[in-house]
Amino acid sequence: MKGFLFFLGSIFRWPVQKTKEFLNLHIYLLGIYAITFLLNNIGLGFSNLIFTVGLVAPIGYLIYQGLPLDCLNYKSAIKRELNSQS
């Protein structure tokens, strides 16, 4: 339960602490939705593929850039957050 509450708190702190990253993510997601919507209206059959690749690409990019393997371990996440605040 502690881990869930920690990550929930992190979600609420993220937009305030890193506003530029938050806005960039949401602009990117809206762009993917808009491109998919336009391709679907045109009648192209691969709009679902573009949507899926567009949503998976940031995760792949983060893994390529060295996403820590313990990124969902709340104890190590707390340690990283405390070290970044010092």
| Cβ atoms 33, 18 nearer than 8 A | no
pLDDT of residue 71: 67
pLDDT tens, position by position, 21-70: 889 989 999 999 999 999 999 988 888 899 999 999 988 888 888 877 67
Q: What is the pLDDT at residue 52?
A: 92
Cα–Cα dist 22/15, whole Å = 6
CA distance 29 to 56: 11
Q: Which tokens go with 37? A: 């919507």
